[in-house]
Amino acid sequence: MDYKTVGLKAGIEIHQQLDSRTKLFCRCPTSLREFEEHTDEYFRFLRATESEMGEIDEAAREEMKNERRFCYYTYDTTCLVEDDEEPPQPLNPEALTISLTIAKMLGMSPVGQIHTMRKLVIDGSNTSGFQRTALVALDGAIPVDVLPGGGGIETICLEEEAAQRVDDHTFSLDRLGIPLVEITTSPCMKTPEEVQEVAGYLGMVLRSTGKVKRGLGTIRQDINISISGGARVEIKGVQELDLIAEVVRREVRRQENLLSIRDELIRRGAGVREEPVDVTHVFSATSSGILKKADRILALVLPFFGGLVGREIQPGRRLGSELSDYAKKCGLGGIFHTDELPGYGVTPEEVSELRTATGASDRDCVIIVAGPEKKVHCAVLQVIKRARLAFEGIPEETRRMLEGGSTSYMRPLPGAARMYPETDVEPVYSRGIWGAIQVPELITKRIGRLKDLGLDPGVAEHIGYSEQYPLFEKALNQGVPPALAARTLTSTVKELRREGVAVDHISDDELIGALAAVGDGRAAKEAVPEILRLIAGGTPLADALEQCAGRVSVQDLGDIVRAVVRERQQFVIERGMASLGPLMGVVMAEVRGSVDGKVVSDCLKDEIRRILQET
């Protein structure tokens, strides 16, 4: 597809959790918990409030359609602030410094007096009904080597993370209040690949601070997309970087298909019949479970929509899915429409009776809404609303990513009406922090430097992105050879952990001490795992070095090698120099790795050669 022709414009919002010691507005730790560990639960309702301008946000109004009772899990690591039972504490200065550091890395202008706002979110994910957020800096740049022609970063906000959803109406409070930064780019990307590239770049910048959380769910991308003649659509919560381009491709396809459906509707002279018809009686003896259970079944005729409601607009998604999403806001499971009937237990006879009862022709599409009285009426209005929007093309919406990269409707795009000052939090100032911030080295630059040190490119990349990098650099500064430090940190420690060795008991200084001993010849590099094993078991570093390093002298080694070779004389004669490999294993086990492998190998070779000459 030629994205230039379709006029693709995309921007991203990156949400990245910060690895601060405590949460943004309370002093609880930022640690995630298992749901089973929750200590208590309670229930709340949320209702939309007016903004300071006296308006109710459109997105909030939509969430209110179906009053929901939310359940919250508490932990011994959460407090009354997460419960919305205590006023927030002052904005966490550590998190502010991290967010300003990121702003500085992106070349942004800091806000002098930073005000915390309440962003209305009443889907239950915030106990208060709003997310606290503060704009900390504006206008940064995306370099031209990342995005051809360059691009802009519009804003960076410091926000509190929402609670994690356990199920539909239940949320876990461990995550609520963890600081996160929201970085918003301008709509400067013009192809799906560019979007992915920029997301990757920003992720790298964030990681370069060494102060962001890592792992699944700690970084999320929202993507804003529009095409010519389309409308801005925001897709929330794309967690996998590799899927970003596909999400963009599918959204472009959806918007194009919706535009062509619009054109077709106009060409056909289609319309929306606003009066629903009660067709409960038509399905009195139906074998469709959903219809049988329903108190009320209403039918809505969409003249000349026939065939278009069932047309695929995105893999697995039809115009019907969009109508259904709107109806779901009233608490219904979905809708039926005649483009997919007969089916789902509805017989051809029932369909024709339905058409008769509603006076619908074959060219019309009939929507069936079934369920409890109150919800059905709400849902019909929603279907009418969405069907009307089909004539405009693409509604401005917030959408949720589905597995594979298609999307479903969440709510209308929120506006400025959802912002309200957080009167419980005092403004803070960037002056005094900004000047003192040292801009960290970008990981990409760091990797280049590591390659220059002679590290293998794969290893350089691995250690460059690794959480262990600060330790690696500390080791280098204390004279540890780069390859040894990289290998130990990226693989040896991991292997030991897998073995069950308590590597967390080894302090950074002990680890570096052990590696430094190898660096200056006091220990063999083969002895590193054994030294670390001993330290993890509680042996002081010096003792561990002595036990491993001092034990086998060159004289001792000669004795050991001689003994090993003599004991296996027959084997050596039979295999010749090929016996070296197997015997290496035996000798290394004897010296427990305390002698460099190369020394052992040389010594063994000499001894084998001697035996072979003797015979």
Partner 1 sequence: MNHTYDAGDRLEAQIGTSVRQATYITGRDGMAVVKLDNGYNLGIPYDSCRFLERPGQSVARKPIVTQRDELPVLSIVSTGGTIASRIDYRTGAVTSQFDAADILRAIPGLSSIGRFRTKQLYTILSENMTPAIWQELARAVHEEIVSGARGVIVTHGTDTMAYSAAALSFMLDTPVPVIFVGSQRSADRPSSDNAINALCAAKTAVSELGEVAVVMHTTTSDDSCSIHRATRVRKMHTSKRDAFTSIGVPPIGTVKYPTLDVTLAAHARKRRETEPMVLPDLEPGCGLLSFVPGMDPAVLDAFSGYRGLVIAGTGLGHVSTAWIPALRTLAKDGCMLAMTSQCLNGRVCDRVYDTGRDLISAGVIEAENMLPETALVKMMWVLGNEDDPDKAAGMMKEDLKGEIEGRSVHGL
Contact residues: partner 1, CB under 8 A: 42-50, 52-55, 60, 67, 69, 80, 83-87, 108-115, 117-120, 122, 127-130, 133-135, 137-139, 155, 157, 415-421, 423, 427
Burial class (CB in 10 A: 0-12, 13-18, 19+), 329: buried
Structural tokens at position 116: 């915390």
Smallest distance, partner 1 to C-beta of residue 117, A: 6
Nearer to partner 1, 415 or 540 (CB): 415
CB atoms within 10 A of CB 177: 28
Nearer to partner 1, 113 or 477 (CB): 113
Smallest distance, partner 1 to C-beta of residue 14, A: 16
Nearer to partner 1, 53 or 554 (CB): 53
Rounded Cα distance, 110 and 115, in Å: 12
Rounded Cα distance, 286 and 297, in Å: 12
Smallest distance, partner 1 to C-beta of residue 90, A: 15
Chain centroid to CA 515 = 35
Residue-wise DSSP of 170-185:
EEETTSTT-EEEEEEE
Q: Are 600 and 575 in contact (CB under 8 A)?
A: no
Q: Could you tell me the maximum CA-CA distance found in the chain, to the nearest angstrom?
A: 108
* Cis peptide leading into residue 582 (ω within 30°): no
CB atoms within 10 A of CB 186: 16
SS3 of residue 74 by DSSP:
strand
Nearer to partner 1, 35 or 45 (CB): 45
Nearer to partner 1, 161 or 194 (CB): 161
Rounded Cα distance, 179 and 19, in Å: 8
Nearer to partner 1, 118 or 337 (CB): 118
Q: Are 464 and 486 in contact (CB under 8 A)?
A: no
Smallest distance, partner 1 to C-beta of residue 52, A: 5
Smallest distance, partner 1 to C-beta of residue 124, A: 10
* Cis peptide leading into residue 348 (ω within 30°): no
Nearer to partner 1, 115 or 377 (CB): 115
Which letter does DSSP use for residue 430 in this model? -
Residue-wise DSSP of 141-178:
EE-TTTSTT-EEEEEEEEEEPPPEEEETTEEETTSTT-
Pairing of the two strands 69-74 and 109-110: unpaired
Cα–Cα distance list, 1 to 77, 224, 579 (Å): 50, 19, 62
Nearer to partner 1, 69 or 609 (CB): 69
Nearer to partner 1, 359 or 415 (CB): 415
SS3 of residue 558 by DSSP:
helix
CB atoms within 10 A of CB 486: 26
Smallest distance, partner 1 to C-beta of residue 451, A: 35
Residue type, 268: R
Burial class (CB in 10 A: 0-12, 13-18, 19+), 89: middle
Q: Are 421 and 439 in contact (CB under 8 A)?
A: no
- The residue length of the chain stands at 615
Structural tokens at position 413: 């795009």
Nearer to partner 1, 119 or 317 (CB): 119
Rounded Cα distance, 278 and 290, in Å: 16
Rounded Cα distance, 460 and 503, in Å: 23
Smallest distance, partner 1 to C-beta of residue 248, A: 23
Smallest distance, partner 1 to C-beta of residue 438, A: 19
Smallest distance, partner 1 to C-beta of residue 144, A: 19
Smallest distance, partner 1 to C-beta of residue 467, A: 32
Cα–Cα distance list, 400 to 232, 351, 363, 366, 590 (Å): 14, 32, 32, 27, 61
Nearer to partner 1, 120 or 378 (CB): 120
Nearer to partner 1, 129 or 179 (CB): 129
Smallest distance, partner 1 to C-beta of residue 457, A: 38
Residue 343, beta-bridge partner list: 346
Nearer to partner 1, 103 or 206 (CB): 103
Nearer to partner 1, 337 or 418 (CB): 418
Residue 177: which region, alpha, beta or left (left: phi > 0; alpha: psi -120 to 50)? left
Smallest distance, partner 1 to C-beta of residue 78, A: 12
Smallest distance, partner 1 to C-beta of residue 329, A: 17
Smallest distance, partner 1 to C-beta of residue 24, A: 16
Radius of gyration of the chain (CA): 33
